[in-house]
Every structure is written in structure tokens, then in C-alpha cells.
Amino acid sequence: MTLTNREIARIFDNIADMLEIKGEIVHRVLSYRRAAEAIRETPQDLQTLAAEGQLQTIPGIGKTLAEKIEELLERGTVDLYERLKAEIPLGVLDILHISGVGPKRAKRLWQELGITSIEQLEEAAKAGKLRAMSGMGAKSEQRILEGIEALRRQQTGRTPLGIAYPLAQEILEYLLELDEAKFGSVAGSIRRARPTIGDIDLLIASDDPDPIMERFVTMSNVAQVLDHGPSKSSVQLHNGMQVDLRVLPEARWGTALHHFTGSQAHNIHIRELFLKRGLSLNEFSLTRVESGEEILCATEEEVFSHLGMPYIPPEIREDWGEIEAALEGRLPKLITLEDIHADLHMHTTWSDGTLSIEQMAQAAYERGRKFIVICDHSYSLGVANGLTVERLMAQQEEIRRVDAKMNGKIRVFHGTEMEINADGTLDFPDEVLEKLDFVVASLHMSLRQPREQITARLLNAINNPHVDLIGHPRGQLIPNREPADLDMDAVFEAAKASGIALEINANPHRLDLEAQYARRAVEMGIPLAINTDAHRASEMDLLFYGVMTARRGWVEAPSVLNTWPLERFLEWTHQRGR
């Protein structure tokens, strides 16, 4: 069976880890890491790109890596990977995910003690056997045991953005209460709005770091202090997450924030451009290579200006063309939270929501929404108290009453989140759908069907002229459920032909469409909608995560239905037969 993009990316990740364990040159290791990341972010199916001879259009994929991808697609493996697996047990790679165990230590554990799995490492640590290695003692054993527990708590080794972001903000605000702290920022992959996070990175500007560091390492939720210094400290929280704090002078803020925001590929590319200009860039400053003279940058804007380019928003700093676009004056004007004034997908007590139609409308109005669409589930989703045709029509009467009662301060429209059944059929017939203001169709069941079958189900909904939007198209739940194995090339082509819109679901456990797919949809002229899928008032505030995801996908406001004025939105739905 042909490998998926995700499976090929995992193999490249493993190759990078094995090469690092072997002590290969860093550039070779990085090439495979960057390739894995690029493949994971590529919206097109690699099989299709290979057939069209377009593999080298993927950032970071040159001739050699393209040949290895083709080999993986043809054979299901690649010679380099098989050779490395013959040398290094795959279980050694699992050990790398434990906090404090790097490639060198993992190699020593394997070669000196024969440890090739996390279970063996745990057993050896509990038995005090790790002390036989030089440089290891009781404290090292305890830290490894704590790292194993932390890894298990994290399950996937990464934390959803919706958990990491508020936690990072809470810690930052706690530290900024000190008079010594001038200002601060969350950095790293949180600032880039990646859907899952490894560690939390925080930066604070101050001339007196000691009180800030002391408050940081003594927080009540700290399980272990990993490092405590004057400019950098690291802790592990009781939930298993690692938090790194750096405190620096205000004059060096710009270079530091840029450096610790990343991504690694973006930073490498920027540094290379500076070197061509005779400048060296690191977290502390720019330095003239010949004279050693420092150039301090207090803002990120100053860093970019030294390359003659505008500020690049953090969400798109992935070395996916943003640097070239900045140099050529082609950066997109990314959508903002303020651009959104509607929500086209929310639930009430009529299905599995917690508030009435009127309560949801009032909550939306209080958040500045101009119009909303109530989209309760259809009857096949029995666990969500889905609506039959009779209940759907009764609900319409109540929605019309609430809409009239709101007296124009917010418009309330009637829709449905209609189930796309396992056999591809839709819950409601066309004559019912014609009576609704807006129709969302979604996949919830049988998401592990073979690609051809589940793709056909989705295409059936896309090709129905009465369906306006596909909700959370790939059906993922972060971190517990992988996306459905859809042929996204076919999905995009059908969506473009039908004129239907695709949803970016703002719930941080979904964030679906992912950024790379949102970007491709916009490039193809497919409209998007950023919705909360709210089941209670508080979930309307999750809109922020959907906007961040859209920004990662280079999305601009005009491409999103719920940035449009009401008149334009109604015109669009009428053109679709409403």
C-alpha cells in the first residue's frame, strides 16, 4: 500500500534521529528534519506530485531527497532507512523524546547498557543500573524517571495549542506583575500558532532579571527546576510541559524575539541573507563580520529592515516563501480577529449545545457578531441528539422568532450541520435543504474508511448544490485522532468546481482545515469560513485560534465568508440557490 505524506515524514524524522545518533554532520541531519516538516505541511499528495515530476517544488526537497521519496512511494521503504535500522534499533529513537536524553546519551544507553526501549530504560533507572555509566548518578536516574512520566502524561509528546497558549499567557502575565519586568512575549511555536507545541518559550525585557527568575522557578506548578541562571531558566511543570524563560535587556529585544520565535528553517535562511551582507545574526545582536561591531535591534522590525524587507508576521515564519515574498513586496495582508463579524456554525440545546437559540444569539451579539447561523446536528448523529426533519422545521419557527426579537442588532439564520453518512448519503433530502438559510455538511462517523470510500462520501456532499460549507473537512481531533485519509487533491478540485466553501474550525482540538490546506484553498479561489462550532457561549471566544490558523495559511480577509458584509453573504447564498 502506498505510504501517506505523514508516514513518509515520520520515516524522514527517524532517519534524521538516526543520523544524529551516529554523529553525522549537522547539515545532513537538518536536511532530513526540514524535509520531514515540509512533507508534513504539503497539502498535495506526494504520489500526485511524483507523477507530475513536481516533488522538487516542495521547500527543502532537492534531487536526492526527491529520489528517496519516489523510492518510498514505489517500495514502501528506502535503502538508507533499512541500513540505519540494521545499525540502530528503532526503540532507541523513542528514548530521544525523554526530557534530558539527547542523541549522545541515548547512544551510550544503548551501546553501554543495551537499552533499546523506554520500558528497559525505566526498569534500569528504578534498579539503579544507570549509575554504572560515567557522568550518571542517582539524580540523573531520578530525572530520567520523571522525564518518562512527563512523556507519558503528554501522550504524543506534544501539547495542543489550545492548552499551551493560555498556560503560556498565564505564566507570562504572572511574571509581568513584577516591577522589574518591562514587557514580555510568548515565543516559539506557540507564537507561530502551530497546532501542537513541544516546549513553552517566554521572553521578558528587564535590567534586573534576578527577581523574575526567582519568581519563575518557585511557581506553584513547577515540578522540577531543570536550569536556573541569570539570563535563562527552565522548569518542568506538573503537567509534564517544559517552560524556558529568557530575560534580556530591552536593547536586544528584537534579535532575541526573532531568534526564539523561529522556525529553525526561517532563521537559517535569514542568517544566510545577513552573511551575504557581511553581517552575523544571533539572539543577541547583529554583528559586522569584519569589524566585530555590534548592531543592536530593539524591535523585530529593525531586524527585518536591515535586509530591506518589511516585518514578517510570526505565524508565517516557516521558510515557505515568506522571505522571498517580503523581499519582492508580495507579503499578504493577513486576516485579523477584528475582520470577523459572523459565525456560521454553532449549536444549541436543540441538539448537543448548552444554551437556547436566544441565549446563543445574545452571547454572539455581546461579542460583536453581526450575524450567526444556528447549525444543530442532523438525526444520524444520535449521540448528539440530532434533529429529525420535523424537529428541524419546528426549530426554524423558533429561529425566525428570535431573529425578529433581536430587531436587527444581530441577524439569526437557520442552518444545519448535516451528517455525511457512512454510505455517502446525506441526512436531509433536497426539498428540506432548500428551506434552510445555510447548510453545513460534516464527517463524524466511519473516519477510518479506505481513502477511495471516504473521499467519495465527501465529494457527494460537495457536489450537492444545496450544501454551502464542509465543516471540519478532515475530521481530526488533536491530539487523539488523526485526520481521515482523504484525497485532498480531489476534494479541492470538486470544491473549486462547485463553488462551495470549506471551514477552518476554530476549536483548538480541531483546527481543521490545517494551515497548509487553507493556503491551497485560497490559491485555488475556494472560499473559506472560520467558525467556532460553539456548543456554549465561552467557545465563541475560541475564534482566535481559527484566525491564527488562517494566518499561518496566508489567508486574507476577502477570502473568508464571515468577514463579508451581510448583504454580500446573502448574495452569495442566493447565488447558490437559497
Asked if the structure places residue 269 within a domain, the reply is yes
Q: Please name the residues in contact with 200: beta carbons below 8 A apart, sequence gap of 6 or more.
A: 164, 167, 168, 171, 186, 188, 190, 241, 242, 243, 244
Q: Domain range spanning residue 516?
A: 337-575
Whole-Å CA distances, 211 to 218, 232, 536: 11, 13, 41
Q: Please state the length of the chain.
A: 578
The answer to whether the CB of 422 falls within 8 A of the CB of 457 is yes
Q: Which of 278, 305, 327 is the last residue of a domain?
A: 327
| Tally of CB atoms within 10 A around 133 | 15
Q: For the packed helices 79-87 and 5-22, what is the interaxial angle rounded to 10 degrees? A: 50
Instruction: For residues 241 and 285, state if they share a domain.
Output: no
Asked if the structure places residue 253 within a domain, the reply is no
Residue found by looking up cell 448574495 in the block: 571
Nearest Cα neighbor of 546 from 346, 321, 318 is 346
Rounded-to-integer distance, Cα 217 and Cα 226, Å: 9
pLDDT, position 538 = 95
| Tally of CB atoms within 10 A around 480 | 10
The pairing of beta strand 183-186 with beta strand 200-205? antiparallel
Task: Output the furthest CA–CA distance in the chain (Å, rounded).
Answer: 80
pLDDT, position 524 = 97
Sign of the CA dihedral running 172, 177, 182, 183 = positive
Asked if the structure places residue 127 within a domain, the reply is yes
Domain count of the fold of the chain: 4
Rounded-to-integer distance, Cα 388 and Cα 177, Å: 53
In the sheet with 279-281, reading across from the earlier edge strand, the strands are 279-281, 286-288, 294-295
Instruction: For residues 348 and 292, state if they share a domain.
Output: no
The pairing of beta strand 196-197 with beta strand 159-160? antiparallel
Cα-based torsion angle of the residue sequence 359, 362, 367, 372 in order, rounded to the nearest 10 degrees: 90
Cα-based torsion angle of the residue sequence 268, 269, 274, 278 in order, rounded to the nearest 10 degrees: 80
Asked if the structure places residue 257 within a domain, the reply is no
Low pLDDT (below 50) residues in the chain: none
Instruction: For residues 407 and 545, state if they share a domain.
Output: yes
232: β partners? 246
Rounded-to-integer distance, Cα 569 and Cα 578, Å: 11
Instruction: For residues 367 and 302, state if they share a domain.
Output: no
Asked if the structure places residue 254 within a domain, the reply is no
The answer to whether the CB of 9 falls within 8 A of the CB of 36 is yes
Instruction: For residues 180 and 113, state if they share a domain.
Output: no
Nearest Cα neighbor of 39 from 16, 19, 18, 22 is 16
Instruction: For residues 163 and 140, state if they share a domain.
Output: no
Burial class (CB in 10 A: 0-12, 13-18, 19+), 483: buried
Instruction: For residues 231 and 281, state if they share a domain.
Output: no
Q: What is the pLDDT of residues 385-395, one digit of tens each?
A: 899 999 999 99
Rounded-to-integer distance, Cα 262 and Cα 194, Å: 11
Asked if the structure places residue 255 within a domain, the reply is no
Asked if the structure places residue 332 within a domain, the reply is no
Cell of residue 274, nine digits: 545577513
Q: Both ends of the chain: CA-CA distance in Å? A: 43
Tell me which amino acid residue 151 is: L
Q: Which of 181, 213, 248 is the last residue of a domain?
A: 248
CATH code, domain carrying 129: 1.10.150.110
* Residue 418 phi, psi (nearest 5): -90, 135
Q: Which of 327, 355, 378 is the last residue of a domain?
A: 327
CATH code, domain carrying 274: 3.30.210.10
Instruction: For residues 100 and 238, state if they share a domain.
Output: no
The distance of Cα 27 from the centroid of its chain, to the nearest Å, equals 26
DSSP secondary structure string for all residues of 343-383: EEEE--TTTT-SS-HHHHHHHHHHTT-SEEEE-PBBTT-GG
Burial class (CB in 10 A: 0-12, 13-18, 19+), 498: middle
Whole-Å CA distances, 457 to 31, 445, 454, 549: 38, 11, 5, 26
CATH code, domain carrying 244: 3.30.460.10
Burial class (CB in 10 A: 0-12, 13-18, 19+), 506: buried
Q: What is the pLDDT of residues 444-487, one digit of tens each?
A: 989 989 899 999 999 999 999 999 999 999 999 887 788 898 99
573: β partners? none
Instruction: For residues 351 and 402, state if they share a domain.
Output: yes
Nearest Cα neighbor of 244 from 259, 396, 355, 354 is 259
3-state secondary structure 80-149: HHHHHHHHCCHHHHHHCCCCCCCHHHHHHHHHHHCCCCHHHHHHHHHCCHHHHCCCCCHHHHHHHHHHHH
Instruction: For residues 299 and 409, state if they share a domain.
Output: no
Instruction: For residues 415 and 533, state if they share a domain.
Output: yes
Cell of residue 296, nine digits: 543592536
Nearest Cα neighbor of 351 from 373, 377, 390 is 377
CATH code, domain carrying 376: 3.20.20.140
The pTM of the full predicted model, rounded to 2 decimals, is 0.81
Instruction: For residues 79 and 183, state if they share a domain.
Output: no
pLDDT, position 144 = 87
Asked if the structure places residue 184 within a domain, the reply is yes
Q: For the packed helices 451-462 and 488-498, what is the interaxial angle rounded to 10 degrees? A: 10
* Residue 193 phi, psi (nearest 5): 65, 35
Rounded-to-integer distance, Cα 433 and Cα 440, Å: 10
